[in-house]
């Protein structure tokens, strides 16, 4: 009887791990395009990856991530309608969305669950927040900077929870960032006037 229960438990764990790694692989494929994407496509890809991350978080038993990414998902969907509802693009609305996501995740992780600040979810929270900031960034350098910070946070989280297939997408993101920065600098070099204007705006 004990052996039978043990066998079923091992099979369940194995199936759960397969699902986690499969979701991570699909997520990685989607993330491969994120580093190359402009703002519009960052938002669309972010919506898709938030859905996948929520599903994976359920199987990883990370309720704080589920709460945070539900908020992030809702906001990313809302940003697609900025043209119709201009208030969505306001700084106040953006700051509020980040605050709600942070509050939701921290409430679940540190108040309800009573987890340590050094737990894996802390790095995932940082990853989720930087990802949301990426989706609302309107500046090239800000977008790429937060993309790199996002990768660093998620790589740390994935290593801690064993979501190794997610690392593939993060590697491609960094490659995409490097490529897009190279293209951007090349365009600035070919058009100094445009490059100076953009640089001044970025430093403001």
The DSSP code sequence of 51-110 is HHHHHHHHHTT-HHHHHHHHHHHHHHHHHTTTTT-GGGGSHHHHHHHHHHHHHHHHIIII
More confident residue, 140 or 40: 140
Q: Could you tell me if 56 and 23 are in contact, meaning their C-beta atoms sit under 8 angstroms apart?
A: yes
Rg of the chain, C-alpha, whole Å:
19
Which domain does 143 fall in, by range? Answer: 2-203
Phi, psi for 162 (deg, rounded to 5): 85, 20
Give the Cα separation of 32 and 151 in Å (integer): 12
State how far the Cα of 202 lies from the Cα of 204, in Å rounded to an integer: 6
Asked if residues 129 and 102 have their Cβ atoms less than 8 Å apart, the reply is: yes
pTM, full prediction: 0.69
Confidence (pLDDT) at 55 = 94
Give 183-192 pLDDT, tens digit per residue.
989 888 877 5
pLDDT, tens digit (0-9, with 9 covering 90-100), for 101-153: 888 888 998 888 888 888 888 998 888 788 778 777 778 999 899 999 999 99
Mean pLDDT, the chain, whole residue set: 81
- Mean pLDDT for 83-97 is 82
- Reference 97, options 131, 60, 120; nearest CA is 131
pLDDT for position 193: 53
If one counts the domains in the chain, the total is 1
Is residue 41 pLDDT above 60, yes or no?
A: yes
pLDDT value at 18 more than 70: yes
**pLDDT tens digits for 160-177?**
988 889 898 888 888 888
Structure confidence at residue 7 (pLDDT): 56
């Amino acid at each position: 009887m004990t052996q039978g229960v043990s066998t079923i438990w091992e099979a369940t764990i194995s199936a759960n791990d397969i699902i986690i790694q499969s979701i991570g692989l699909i997520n990685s494929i989607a993330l491969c395009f994120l580093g190359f994407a402009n703002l519009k496509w960052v938002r669309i890809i972010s919506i898709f990856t938030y859905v996948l991350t929520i599903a994976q978080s359920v199987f990883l038993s990370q309720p704080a991530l589920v709460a945070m990414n539900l908020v992030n998902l809702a906001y990313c969907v809302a940003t697609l309608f900025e043209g119709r509802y201009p208030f969505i693009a306001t700084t106040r609305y953006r700051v509020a969305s980040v605050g709600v996501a942070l509050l939701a995740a921290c409430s679940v992780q540190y108040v309800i669950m009573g987890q340590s600040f050094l737990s894996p979810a802390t790095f995932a929270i940082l990853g989720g927040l930087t990802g949301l900031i990426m989706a609302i960034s309107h500046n090239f350098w800000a977008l790429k900077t937060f993309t790199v910070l996002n990768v660093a946070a998620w790589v740390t989280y994935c290593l801690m929870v064993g979501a190794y297939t997610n690392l593939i997408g993060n590697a491609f993101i960094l490659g995409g960032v490097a490529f897009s920065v190279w293209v951007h600098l090349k365009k600035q070099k070919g058009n100094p006037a445009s490059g100076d204007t953009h640089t001044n705006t970025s430093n403001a």
